[in-house]
Chains A and B, each alone.
Chain A
Amino acid sequence: MAGEKKKRLMQGNEACAEGALYAGCRFYAGYPITPSTEVAEVLSARLPTVGGKFIQMEDEIASISATIGGSLAGLKSMTATSGPGFSLKQEGIGFACMAEVPCVIVNVMRGGPSTGYPTGPSQSDVMQAKWGTHGDHPVIAVTPAYVQEIFSETVRAFNLAEKYRTPVMVLYDEIVGHMREAITIPEAGELEVVDRAKPECPPEEYLPYDQRYEIPPLAPFGEGYRFHVTGLNHKDDGFPTNDPGMIEEGNKRLLRKIENNKEDIWCNEDYYLDDAEVLVFSFGSTARSARFAVRKAREKGIKAGLLRALTLWPFPDKALKDAASRARAVIVPEMNLGQIVEEVQRHVAGPAVEGIHRVDGEPITPAQIIEVIERYA
């Protein structure tokens, strides 16, 4: 049977691990936590076979710190966790933003707050992904919804991290993480794999935070380049500064490097958007319920459409505004008590905006969404 060899039934978390390997991840440091543990489990077996390193750390903050260290030493690095661990990692995430260290943080969302509901799905960490760490900082978060997409979005997360010298989050929920679907692992070269820019100058001339660049090249430790890395506001050479101009410029550049490249970072799925009068904005597994609902609404003659965010941060305001300009209502289903719906309200003027929320550990069903679509039909 043709294709039998390549097609495999795979769990979402396993696809994440395979995507990381495809992207060139060679260092993983993590602390096991449901429902993300399979990512670590697979990488603990697979990384050593490709010359990589897997370390089970003593806790969550050690995990993100080791991930940052691995990346500074030149290896593409990743950690995976869930809500409670994501909270504990925030200090390190802020450091990675400030020190501009590329790395990937996977958060398989479960019910919260606190230890909450470990085996149940949620989408309640989306605002934590954006504002969990303090200070103004850029955030890139991708939100896959299918097993094949977890693979490709994990690859994309690494690419964005390398390209923009920043931590990138892969956010998905327990449903997608534990779900199994058939996937095909692409051949080497089929998907783009980006490696960080390295300095071309000699070590004595190297400035790790050279303000002449939007994204300064990053030298790996161990190749002769000595430089200072700190969470403090810093000068071009990485050492701390109290200079107001440098502090302001450094902070602004952090945001600018993402803001100026949003078109490159954004990725959405459009489903029946061209003439949609009732728009559903969704992401992750909930978007699969929404897609089903939109399909059923179309069968009933209702002009419904779905805008599904694969990049949730930076927020896809342009695509949303465009689709909303033709709609009389925007429906925002999400497995939390109202996080992204407020972001949608911030960007949409005119159409009614209504959230559908659920936090009982069960998915938002297509029927729940169809009911609201029909109200605006």
Chain B
Amino acid sequence: MGDRYELRFSGSGGQGMILAGIVMAEAAAIYDDKIAVQSQSYGPESRGGASKAEVIISDQPIDYPKATEIDCMLALTQEACTKYHSDIKEGGILLVDSDEVKDVPEGRFRVFSYPIIETAREELGKTIVANIISLGMIAELTGIVSRSAMEKAVMARVPKAFQELNRKALEIGFEKARELKAASS
């Protein structure tokens, strides 16, 4: 890991992108004992509009808290993908929802495309966990946080009644990302 590993979670307001950022930062800073900063940018709407959260992970104290050259970005909507992809660095990763993002930007980064929201609906009956599936996928694709740290971080943020649902969502994320990786290598 360089001195900064930068992640951006983007989608529309209400898709849980800020929560995804918080969980990622918690996995890194609390359970993996690294240093992390999570920041966010959002509009006045509580639903809709492009929303993003950023997480910087490092072994050293982090000064600038926002993304400069992104190692990994998630886009759950076309609007967010188009608006926010330009900072992805060469060799970085872009993970998009394949049903939502039809116009995949070109660049010198690797693109992973998967029907994340549809998978949440079909396998778990709840699109609301698309963000947790995404977290599982990102943990697996990047290896930036350990699997156990990610599990602990998700469980710590989720109410008891929804723990099983979220555990399954995370598991699906890990598994789908493994398949994607295998297919692309």
Contacts and interface: CB of A to CB of B under 8 A. Distances in A.
Contacts of B36: 9, 181-182
Contact of A179 (B33, B65, B68): B65
Given A288-B65, A366-B68, 19 more contacts: A1-B33, A7-B29, A9-B25, A9-B26, A119-B42, A119-B43, A119-B44, A175-B66, A178-B40, A179-B37, A179-B38, A180-B22, A181-B62, A182-B30, A182-B35, A182-B36, A285-B65, A365-B64, A365-B68
A178 B29 contact: no
Q: How large is the interface on A (under 10, 10 to 19, 20 to 34, 35 or more residues)?
A: 20 to 34
Contacts of A365: 64, 66, 68
A157 B70 CA distance: 37
Contacts of A119: 41-44
Contacts of B37: 179-181
Interface of A: 1, 3-4, 7-9, 118-119, 175, 178-182, 285, 288-289, 291-292, 295, 363, 365-367
Identify the 4 closest CB pairs spanning chains A and B, nearest first: A292-B64, A291-B63, A182-B29, A180-B38
Most buried by A among B39, B44, B68: B39
Interface residues of B, number: 23
B29 A288 contact: no
Given A175-B65, A288-B64, A288-B65, A9 B29 contact: yes
A292 B63 contact: yes
Contacts of B26: 9
Contacts of B68: 365-367
Binding site secondary structure of chain A:
mixed
Contact of B25 (A3, A180, A292): A180
A288 B63 contact: yes
B63 A181 contact: no
A175 B37 CA distance: 11
Interface of B: 22, 25-26, 29-31, 33, 35-44, 62-66, 68
13 contacts: A1-B33, A3-B33, A9-B22, A9-B26, A119-B44, A175-B66, A179-B38, A179-B39, A180-B39, A181-B29, A182-B36, A292-B63, A365-B68
Contact of B30 (A8, A288, A295, A363): A8
A118 B64 contact: no
Contacts of B35: 182
A118 B44 contact: yes
A275 B108 CA distance: 40
Nearest to B55: A180
B50 to A, nearest CB: 13
Contacts of B65: 175, 179, 285, 288
Contacts of A118: 44
A77 B90 CA distance: 51
Contacts of B33: 1, 3
Contacts of A182: 29-30, 35-36
Nearest to A117: B44
A295 B42 contact: no
